[in-house]
Chain A
Amino acid sequence: MKTSGILIALVAFAALTACTNADRFGSGSGAGANGGLAAGAGVAGSVNDPTSPAYFNQIIGDRVLFAVDQSTLSTEAQLVLDQQAVWLTQNGAYSALIEGHADEQGTQEYNIALGERRAEAVRSYLVSRGVASSRLRTISYGKERPLAICSDESCYAQNRRAVTVLTAGAGV
């Protein structure tokens, strides 16, 4: 269970970085442009270094998953977020953008709102575990940035996610 979870996270990580850079580092000067650290293993450091973003992304896990049309954090999700919170408190040089996503079962605008709700659930939880609120921001992509592209539950389950994307800097 643990091993397969990590494997899935690795695969998902590769797919995510391959496809969402354009928007995450979009052309604007806004918040998305200050450099996510999920962009490549070289930048993210070694998974063996517990202070590295690679460790955060792959060993702790940068994402939590949700049930259909829900934004409640499961026990499993809370365990991941507990570790994320510890990591973030110990590594004050990073802040995070929490991306909320939905699967394709739902209308576009509703799913944007649902993704925001999921991102906010993660932010509130991390804040409740001691992470300064000023270091965390949220964004929602609704169903517009699927990670897995099949049209059944095996893919939908991976797409209903909130991803904690590390960025350099101690926050605003």
Chain B
Amino acid sequence: MTRLAFLIAMLFSLLPAALAAQDRSGPLRIEITEGVIEPVPIAVAPFIAENAAAADFARQITGVVSADLTGTGLFRDIPRDAYISQVTSFDAPVPYADWRAINAEALITGAVTLTSDNRLIVKFRLFDIFSGQPLGDGLQFAGGTDSWRRVAHKVADQVYSRITGEGGYFDSRVVYVEETGPKNARQRRLAIMDYDGANVQYLSDASSLVLSPRFSPTGDRVLYTSYESGFPAIYELSVGSVTKRPLDVQAEGLAFAPRFAPDGRSVVYSRSDAGNTDIYRLDLSSGQRTRLTSAPSIETAPSFSPDGSRIVFESDRSGTQQLYIMPAGGGEATRISFGQGRYGTPVWSPRGDYIAFTKQNAGRFHIGVMRTDGSQERLLTASFLDEGPTWAPNGRVLMFTRESAGADGEPAMFSVDISGRNLKRVPTSTAASDPAWSPLLP
């Protein structure tokens, strides 16, 4: 336990600890340092099929558990041909020495049963090899055969959570915009997928321009902007039934950038009045609209603090795009971004500790994070065009849009840890942009 916990704590804390010593004299630029930190070796033993019908599921679930864990960049799955002993029974005692000999820090074992009424029962255990003890109790999940991936994600979330002390994020979904066609004639439609790119489902057709989908706090509804009325307007969509309703559709002008309040009962968004964009709040049950900002500048991209008391947003009231925080009911705003360049798309972490943002400086785009008072700014990425971060449910990973340059340029979704490690492309079959991460599924 101690050695494993220590290794993981190191992985998580290395960069932030080094940065904590920096003062706020200027923004810090972090180079992506992939592969500098060695992932912890673990063994995800092939899950045992308790009956013949479960064999395929057992193999696939093992694969997803392994992919989830190694995909974090924190773990390396030791190849099966290096195993000294095989796991042949879920309840057999663990020969710790055999796993220690191949340097496995942790061992995950599992078993899968397919019941006669077509339900999957998945059990797993996690062992800390160097301390020679189980890490937490064995657990069992059950689900329909069509949700085998979710069951696998739940197992991986448990393992991740027990080893890192952080919340999991694998059993989650991402709503995004699928993009097809050339750059000057893009077709877009809303789509939803598992966090790892599996199970893509479309939520709209490509007949209208759609932008910036965002999940409700319980993940069952999505807010987005669509031009289907002829003008940009905001809509609320039920994910289960794929039915939508308009929230604010004007005869002209714009309503866009909608986000839910943490209680899911109201929405903040941008609305234009004679060309000027301000932030409004709309109560979803009464339909009552309240104006939160009144400035001749652009106010947009609002995001609630998790406790619902404050809103971070971007404004160019100082002359360039910068980040501000105001009380949830409106009122005096405090500027929090002070580095070089322009700051936009602030998103409050679900844990409340950081605000993620897009930064433009010297012709480059960055995804970064800062404390909610603007201190400890760190840039996690740099490219021709990175924008629009969204938080994983555990507040430790970000997903964002990266667009390549030129006439053939197109967007893709990437993820990165808040330490700046583990930058990688999220697999999608077409160009994709504007990801929004769901909370952990129930």
Contact surface of A with B, Cβ cutoff 8 Å: 15, 18-19, 22-23, 26-33, 69, 104-110, 112-114, 116-117, 119-121, 123-124, 137-141, 144-151, 172
- The digit string for B174-187, where 1 denotes a CB below 8 A from any CB of A, is 00000000111111
CB distance from B45 to the nearest CB of A (A): 45
Instruction: Tell whether, in the assembled complex, residue B345 and residue A19 are in contact, meaning their CB atoms are under 8 Å apart.
Output: no
- 16 contacting pairs across A/B (C-beta < 8 A): A23-B209, A28-B229, A107-B360, A107-B388, A113-B254, A113-B277, A116-B254, A116-B277, A120-B276, A121-B275, A138-B253, A139-B232, A139-B253, A139-B254, A149-B409, A172-B251
Given contacts A19-B185, A106-B360, A108-B388, contact A138 B229 (CB under 8 A): no
The answer to whether B314 touches A151 (Cβ under 8 A) is no
Partner of B298, one of A105, A113, A119, A150: A113
Q: Tell me whether B257 and A151 are in contact (CB under 8 A).
A: no
Residue B136 is within 8 A (CB to CB) of chain A in the complex: no
A30 CB contact (under 8 Å) in B230, B256, B385: B230
Closest Cβ of chain A to B345, distance in Å, is 5
Asked whether B270 lies within 8 Å of A150 as measured between CB atoms, the reply is no
Interface residues of B in 395-435 (CB under 8 A from A): 403, 405-407, 409, 434
Q: Contact between B184 and A109 (Cβ–Cβ < 8 Å)?
A: no
Min C-beta distance of B355 to chain A, whole Å: 15
Top 8 closest A-B pairs, CB basis?
A: A120-B275, A32-B230, A30-B230, A30-B229, A19-B185, A151-B405, A113-B277, A113-B298
What's the Cα separation between A140 and B407 when bound, in Å?
22
Our pick among A109, A138, A147, A172 for the contact of B300 (Cβ within 8 Å) is: A109
The answer to whether A109 and B209 have CB atoms under 8 Å apart is no
B residues sitting closer than 8 Å to A (CB atoms) are 182-187, 207-209, 211-212, 227-232, 249, 251-254, 256-257, 270, 272, 274-277, 298, 300-301, 314, 316, 320-321, 344-345, 358, 360, 384-385, 387-388, 403, 405-407, 409, 434
The listed residue with most B CB atoms (<10 A of its CB), out of A31, A110, A144, A148, is A110
**Residue with the highest number of chain A CB atoms closer than 10 Å, among B183, B251, B276, B405:** B183
Inter-chain contact A109/B231, CB cutoff 8 Å: no
* CB proximity of A67 to chain B, nearest CB, Å: 14
In the assembled complex, which residues on chain B have CB atoms less than 8 Å from the CB atom of A146?
Answer: 183-184
Residues of B within 8 A of A33 (CB): 230
Within 8 Å CB of A150, what residues of B? 406-407
Closest to B269 in A: A109
Inter-chain contact A110/B186, CB cutoff 8 Å: no
Bound-complex Cα distance A124 to B276 (A): 12
Contacts of B211 in A (CB 8 A): 108-109, 112, 144
- Known A-B contacts A138-B275, A150-B407, A151-B409; A107 and B387 likewise in contact (beta carbons under 8 Å): yes
- Chain B residue nearest to A34 (CB atoms) is B230
Q: A26-B229, A106-B344, A137-B252 are in contact. List 16 more A-B contacts (CB 8 A).
A: A22-B185, A28-B229, A30-B230, A31-B230, A104-B403, A107-B360, A107-B388, A108-B434, A109-B257, A110-B314, A112-B300, A138-B253, A140-B232, A145-B184, A149-B182, A151-B384
For A118, give the chain B residue with the smallest CB separation: B275
- Chain A's nearest CB lies how many Å from the CB of B407? 4
A110-B184 contact, Cβ under 8 Å, with A31-B252, A139-B232:
no
Nearest CB of A to B182, in Å: 7
Beta-carbon nearest neighbor of B319 in chain A = A69
Expressed in whole angstroms, the Cα–Cα distance for A156 and B187 within the complex equals 21
Provide the residues of chain A in CB contact with B406, threshold 8 Å: 149-151
Known contacts A116-B254, A151-B409; A108 and B212 CB within 8 A of each other: yes
**What distance in Å separates the Cβ of A149 from its nearest Cβ neighbour in chain B?**
4
**In the complex, what residues of A have CB within 8 A of residue B320's CB?**
69
A68 → chain B closest CB, angstroms = 11
Q: What B residues does A109 contact at CB under 8 A?
A: 211-212, 256-257, 270, 300-301, 344-345
Of A107, A145, A149, A151, most buried by chain B (CB within 10 Å of CB) is: A107
CA distance A109 to B358 in the complex (A): 12
Q: How close is B441's CB to chain A, nearest CB, in angstroms? A: 27
Contact B184 A15 (CB under 8 A): yes
Q: Which residues of A contact B187 (CB under 8 A)?
A: 22
Q: In the bound complex, how far is the Cα of B186 from the Cα of A150, in angstroms?
A: 15
Cα separation A28 to B385 with both chains bound (whole Å): 32
Q: Tell me which residues across on chain A come within 8 A of B228, comparing CB atoms.
A: 26-28, 30
Chain B residues within an 8 Å CB radius of A147: 184
Say how far B218's CB is from chain A's closest CB, in angstroms: 24
Closest A residue to B344 using CB positions: A107
Measured CB to CB, the nearest residue on chain B to A172 is B251
- B344 CB to nearest A CB, Å: 4
Q: How far is the CA of A138 from the CA of B252 in the complex (A)?
A: 7
Q: Which residues of A contact B184 (CB under 8 A)?
A: 15, 19, 145-149
> A107 contacts B275, CB within 8 Å?
no
Residues of chain B with a CB closer than 8 A to A140's CB: 232, 254, 272
Contacts of B230 in A (CB 8 A): 26, 28, 30-33, 139
Residues A31 and B207 in contact, CB atoms below 8 Å apart = no
> What's the least CB distance linking B235 to chain A, in Å?
12
From residue B428, how far is it (CB to closest CB) to chain A in Å?
18
Cα A19 to Cα B276 in complex, Å, equals 28
| Distance in Å: Cβ of B108 to nearest Cβ of chain A | 41
The answer to whether A27 touches B387, judged by C-beta atoms less than 8 angstroms apart, is no
A residues in contact with B229, CB < 8 Å: 26, 28-32
Cβ–Cβ contact B275 & A117, under 8 A:
yes
Q: Closest residue to B343 on the A side, CB-wise?
A: A107
